[in-house]
Every structure is written in C-alpha cells, then in structure tokens.
C-alpha cells in the first residue's frame, strides 16, 4: 500500500475514533446528520460591525443595545398597528435599559400588574421573532438558566385556547411571586443576544473617550465577538506587556486628550511617581505648550493645571526618548529621521525636520543632554520603571490584553468579507509594500500572518527574553510605525504638533496616508486585495475602520462600487463636528448588507427618561437575490465537513468496520 494512502487511512481512523466518543452508535450519528442538515437550511445569523469606539462607552452601549436600530425595527414590525409611537419607544427603552427604565416608570407609579403582564407578553413576542432563525438548542443556550424552563414554554407558540391559557397562568404566577421585573431584565438580555449572532469590532477600542475598560468589560461578556486590532489597541496591549515606548505614548495620549480616567479609575494605575518627578524636575520650566486643553478628570487637574502640564511634558520627553530606543533596535523600520531630539539645535532653538530648520515653541528640556539627547536621565529611568511595574501589575489591564489576543487579530475573513482596521500597505505604483520579517520580504496576507505569528510567539515568551522585547517593539510599530498596517501613515506627528512651529509650512504636522487610501476607491484594486486574502465572490467586501468619513463634504462610506465600506464609528465626539455625523455601523443579515448612519447620542439618561434613541438612517446597499442561509456561510462550510465525517462514521458502523458502543 502506498505510504500516502496508508497515512490517509490512519488519519480517517483517528477521526472516526474521536467521533465515536460523541456518537457511539449508528442512530446517534444519523440523528446528528439530520440535525446538521436542518441547520444548513436556516437563515444566516445577523452580524453587527462596529469600529473606532475610542472609549465612548455610553454611545457604544446604546448601539450595542439597539443593534444599530434592528431591535426597534422588530418592535415596529410587530406592534405598529397596536401601539402608539410613544408606547413603542417606551418598549424599546425597556429592552435597552431594563433596570433603569423600570426604576423610572416605578417612580411615576406606572409599574402595575397590568403593565407587567402586557410587557412580558410583548417582549415574549419579540423574543420569539428574533429566535425564529435559530435551532431550539441554540436558543436554549442563550436563555438565562434560572428562567430557561419558563422561557421555553412561553416561546413555544400555539393558537390553541389551552396553550394560551397555559401562557396566561405562567405570567400570572411570575407576577404573583414578584419575579416579573427580574424576568423582564432576563428577556431584554435574551432579545439583545439573539438579535445579533456575531459582533465584529473593527479596531480602536482605546483612547480619547473616558472608559475603554468599560467597553472591554462589555465585550468580554459576549460569547461571539471578534476584534480586529486598531493601532490604539496595539498601543495599550504593548503597554500591558511592558513596552516602555508604548506606556509613555499611552500616557502622552491620556494627557493630550484631557482624560486620565482610563488609567486611574479603569486600571488603578497611580500617576503619583510621575507627579512627584514632574513637580521636582519641571518646577521652573516653561510648560505652556502642555497646558490641559480639555476639562480632564484628574485629582491633579483640580489642584494645579501647571502640575498636570508638567506631568504631560515629562512623559512626552520620555516618549520621544523611548521611541528612539525602539527605532535604533529595529533598523528595518527605516525611521531614523523620526529621532527628532537629535535634530535640535539648542542654541538656535530650532529642530531640523524634512531637511529644514523649524523654530521650537519650547526648548526648555532639563532632562535632555545635548551630547546624548535620547538617553534617559537616572530620574527618568526610575520613574519609567515604576510606570512599567504599575502597568504590568494591573490585573484588569492584563485581562483585557489577554482578551484582545484571544479574540483579536490583524485581520479576519468571515462570510466573504475581509475585515481589518487600517490598510494593506501599498507602494506609490500600486504594488503591495514589502517588509522584512525573519529574513523574508513579505507583503499582503503573508505579511499580516507572519507579523501576527511573531507577535503571539513573543507574548508567550518569558518577560526578559529577546522574543518578548521583539513583540513589544512590534506593538509600537503597529501603533505608529511608518506605513504600519494598523496605522497607515508615514509618521505620527506628535512632536511637530506639540513643539515645532513653522508658519511658512502649514503641512508641517501632516501625516501622509499610505497609497492604499487613494487606491481603495478603485474596484479593481479592492478586488486584487480581496483575492490576495482568498476572497473572490461577487458579494466579497473589504470592511475598514480608522479613517472617519467626512459626511459634511459629501464623502460616502461605500467605495469602489460597493466593494469597500468604511465604518469608522465616529463615536469620538471630537470628530463629530468635523465629519457631520456620529459615524457608521454595518449590519449583515440574511437579506444582505446594510450600512447605518448615526447622529450623536444624547446620553443614557435621555434614552431612559425621554425615550431618545440614536437617530439613524439605514441603507440596504448589497441586497441578495435570495435569502442567505447558514449553508452559504463559513459556518455552513464547517457543518458540511462535519456531515462528511459523520457519514463516514455511519458507513463504518453499518459495514462493521467500527463497533457500536452500547450504553450500559
């Protein structure tokens, strides 16, 4: 027998032996094949795409709770002829925020037995509708354990008088024992979970907004969630793994955005060592370029904005020095021109950038030695190491970084769509940009795969190993490296925006985008990128975040004849005045792809007290000619492979090649 044939038979035997543990008889295999074939004929579950949350947890929670308006559509579908607009809005708010809404209604004396009964009936109908595309087994897993039996009985619809009376008696008992409000909360949770089968976060949970840690807590509670890393996520992951450059940059961002809540409240990271160092070292320095621009939520800001500015200046200088360490360790980055502390002429108070001397707004750097400007002073070394210990010892930050590693990646191919946050780096001539990785020049999918493998390998390595340091440097590269796939620009112009000044050159702080951001408007280039990742179907798309869509200027999120969709969520309030919207989300259900444009969210309090939903408009831009089934999805392909294996097991039982295991 040829060796290859023998190896195939041995592999088949291993598969059959493993399957027989779960399906010990022909009847068990038959039943599972019937079940799986039935699942293939169900409509595909709804996928929900969100990006660029940037710590705006209230707006994120609302978009998550209303499934970009899908839940309100279900309410209108069922009750448009029987409930008023106000009653439907009340019901929607109750599903979004059951505890808060019930408390508000109770304060007005509106939570009566009749209200509870009607609400439970209506929510049961909604739950029955959103559960209709799933198997009972899947629905059962989504039900809260304490009410699973009751829910299953209520979700079993029947028009018979006996069954209706049975349902009425269940609800009467629930109200009588005082469990109605708890059950409303459980039903609301079940509706939200079943409305969206899978959640995609296309990057940038972190920075700008107050509480990215709250967003990640919410995501960790959802079972079918994946994340495509954004450059801000990579920055915080690098900080969690001890990268000095990432920690300094993350702190610099927190001061720049006037937000220290993430550090002090979210992750319990004390900034006292930095405050002591800054107050001693920068006491008599000019810190005007670093004065807080936002309100900031920090105990330091209330006492002294000058102290906050000194802390900001101190960490900015440390950031410039530690990023120089990364650049020097990694010549493949080709970023030596970004070591700008070495380009300062302290006598002339200028800095050389792009071949020109530019005046400095601030040249008062007590820790910078002109003879060796990028060397950390002994005091900077000490405070940096204390900050590293603070970041790496934060249990919550470590848990969030582990979650991002487990559920995340640079890209994802899912049901014909290619998801990534930033770009596929491209040269000016339109060819894929190549980077050196472990002795090979790689581009496109091969580059993404190699970088991710290297990163994961390093994260599992011992803390002081060269592999861990390489991983930390990769996180920094993803954050702001030249043409990084997650960043997609030629530089991060933090130094220019903060310290340099040149009225004759308004483009000084400009960050030139990678060529990808021009070519992604062309269908042919998008098709070429999709093919690079193995996607060639007529309904294949690229889903991007990272770059806000400027609706004010007439820009569309749909590009390249529908082959690419930019869904920068626009959650960040700082962008909303410039873009004219609160961004976009995407919904992909059995009818096709819909892009939803959102207006700014007025807050959870208004959603509860005034039933104010996010004002959204929806456009179905890729409608299918027939309903998409599970059979048409990646999950369906996996199910078909499982059916083939089970059929092989069934044949083995029937032929006598494998003995059935009888239960005792």
Helices (H) and strands (E) in the chain, counts: 28, 17
Question: What are the residue boundaries of the structural domains of the chain, listed by start?
Answer: 3-42+632-655, 64-195, 231-498, 513-631
Element at 418 (helix H, strand E): strand 417-420
CA distance 177 to 254: 49
Ranges of residues in the chain with a pLDDT under 70 are 1-9, 157-161, 163, 293-303, 552, 569-570, 572-581, 614-616, 620, 662-664
Residue 601 has a pLDDT of 77
Among 412, 437, 435, smallest CA distance to 425 is for 435
Instruction: Report d(CA 62, CA 68) in Å as an integer.
Output: 8
**φ, ψ of residue 306 in degrees (nearest 5):** -65, -40
According to the model, what pLDDT value does residue 166 have? 81
What single string gives the DSSP state of each residue in 163-208? HHHHHHHHHHHHHHTT-HHHHHHHHHHHHHHHH-SEEEE-S--SSS
pLDDT of residue 580: 55
**pLDDT in the model for residue 521:** 94
Query: Which of 202, 188, 228, 165 is CA-nearest to residue 91?
Result: 188
Separation between Cα atoms, residue 183 and residue 193, nearest integer Å: 15
Q: Residue 442 belongs to what H/E stretch?
A: strand 440-442
Whole-number pLDDT of residue 7: 67
Alpha helices in 466-580 (DSSP H): 466-480, 494-498, 516-519, 523-532, 573-579
Round to whole Å and give the CA distance between 543 and 521: 13
Interstrand relation of 558-559 and 440-442 (parallel, antiparallel or unpaired) = unpaired
Consecutive H or E run containing 3: helix 3-22
pLDDT at 614: 67
What pTM, to 2 d.p., does this model score? 0.92
Question: Exposure string (b/e) for 5-33, b if CB count within 10 Å is 16 or more?
Answer: eeeeeeeeeeebeebbeebbebebbeebb
Identify the pLDDT of residue 326: 97
Angle at 517 between CA 513 and CA 521, to 5 degrees: 160
Q: Is 240 helix (H, G, I), strand (E, B) or coil?
A: helix
How many whole angstroms separate alpha carbon 522 and alpha carbon 519? 6
Angle between helix axes 305-329 and 244-256 (nearest 10 degrees) is 150
Distance, CA of 254 to CA of 250 (rounded, Å): 6
Asked if residues 498 and 287 have their Cβ atoms less than 8 Å apart, the reply is no
- Token duo for residue 352: 């050389």
Burial (CB count within 10 angstroms: exposed 0-12, middle 13-18, buried 19+), residue 316: buried
**DSSP 3-state of 135:** coil
Question: Which three-class secondary structure string do you get for 529-540?
Answer: HHHHCCCCCCCC
CB contact at 8 A, 638 and 612 = no
Predicted pLDDT at 647:
93
């Amino acid at each position: 027998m040829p060796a290859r044939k023998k190896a195939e038979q041995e592999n088949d035997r291993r598969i059959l032996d493993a399957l027989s543990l779960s399906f010990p008889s022909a009847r068990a295999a038959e039943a599972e094949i019937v079940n799986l074939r039935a699942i293939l004929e169900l409509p595909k579950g709804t996928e929900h795409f969100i990006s660029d949350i940037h710590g705006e947890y209230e707006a994120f929670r609302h978009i998550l709770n209303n499934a970009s308006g899908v839940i309100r559509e279900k309410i209108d579908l069922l009750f448009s002829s029987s409930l008023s607009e106000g009653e439907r809005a009340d019901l929607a708010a109750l599903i979004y925020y059951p505890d808060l809404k019930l408390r508000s209604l109770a304060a007005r004396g509106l939570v009566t037995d009749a209200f509870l009964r009607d609400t439970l009936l209506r929510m049961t109908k909604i739950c029955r509708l959103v559960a209709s595309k799933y198997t009972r087994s899947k629905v059962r897993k989504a039900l809260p354990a304490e009410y699973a039996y009751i829910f299953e009985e209520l979700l079993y619809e029947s028009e018979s008088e006996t069954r209706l009376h049975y349902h009425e008696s269940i609800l009467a008992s629930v109200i009588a024992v005082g469990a109605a409000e708890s059950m409303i909360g459980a039903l609301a949770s079940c509706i939200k979970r079943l409305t969206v089968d899978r959640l995609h976060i296309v990057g940038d949970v972190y920075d700008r907004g107050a509480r990215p840690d709250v967003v990640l807590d919410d995501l960790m509670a959802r079972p079918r969630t994946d994340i495509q890393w954004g450059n801000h996520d990579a920055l915080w992951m690098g900080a969690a793994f001890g990268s000095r450059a990432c920690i300094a940059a993350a702190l610099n961002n927190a001061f720049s955005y006037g937000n220290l809540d993430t550090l002090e409240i979210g992750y319990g990271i004390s900034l006292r060592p930095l405050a002591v160092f800054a107050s001693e070292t920068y006491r008599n320095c000019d810190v005007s370029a670093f004065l807080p621009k936002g309100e900031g939520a920090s105990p330091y800001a209330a006492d002294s904005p000058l102290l906050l500015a000194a802390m900001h200046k101190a960490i900015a200088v440390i950031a410039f020095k530690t990023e120089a360490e990364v650049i020097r360790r990694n010549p493949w980055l080709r970023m030596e021109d970004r070591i700008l502390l070495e380009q300062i002429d302290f006598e002339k108070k200028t800095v050389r950038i792009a071949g020109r001397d530019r005046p400095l707004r601030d040249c008062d750097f007590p820790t910078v030695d002109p003879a060796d400007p990028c060397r950390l002073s002994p005091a900077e070394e000490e405070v940096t190491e204390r900050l590293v210990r603070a970041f790496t010892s934060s249990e919550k930050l470590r848990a969030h970084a582990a979650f991002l590693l487990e559920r995340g990646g640079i890209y994802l191919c899912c049901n014909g769509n290619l998801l990534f946050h930033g770009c596929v780096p491209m040269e000016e001539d339109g060819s894929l940009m190549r980077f050196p990785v472990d002795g090979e020049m790689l581009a496109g999918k091969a580059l993404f795969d190699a970088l991710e493998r290297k990163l994961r390998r390093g994260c599992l390595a011992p803390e002081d190993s060269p592999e861990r340091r390489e991983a930390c440097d990769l996180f920094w590269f993803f954050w702001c490296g030249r043409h990084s796939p997650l960043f997609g620009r030629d530089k991060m112009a933090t130094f220019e925006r903060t310290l340099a000044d040149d009225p004759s050159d308004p483009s000084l702080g400009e960050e030139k985008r990678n060529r990808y951001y021009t070519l992604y408007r062309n269908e042919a280039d998008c098709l070429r990128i999709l093919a690079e990742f193995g996607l060639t179907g007529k309904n294949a798309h690229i889903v991007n975040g990272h770059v806000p869509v400027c609706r004010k200027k007439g820009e569309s999120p749909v590009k390249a004849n529908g082959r690419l969709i930019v869904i920068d969520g626009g959650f960040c309030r700082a962008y909303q005045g410039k873009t004219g919207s609160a961004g976009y989300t995407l919904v992909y259900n059995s009818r096709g792809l819909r892009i939803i444009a959102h207006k700014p969210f007025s807050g959870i309090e208004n959603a509860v007290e005034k039933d104010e939903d996010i004002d959204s408009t929806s456009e179905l831009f890729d409608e299918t000619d027939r309903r998409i089934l599970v059979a048409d999805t990646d999950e369906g392909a996996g199910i078909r492979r499982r059916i083939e294996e089970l059929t092989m097991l069934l044949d083995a039982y029937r032929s006598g090649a494998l003995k059935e295991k009888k239960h005792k």
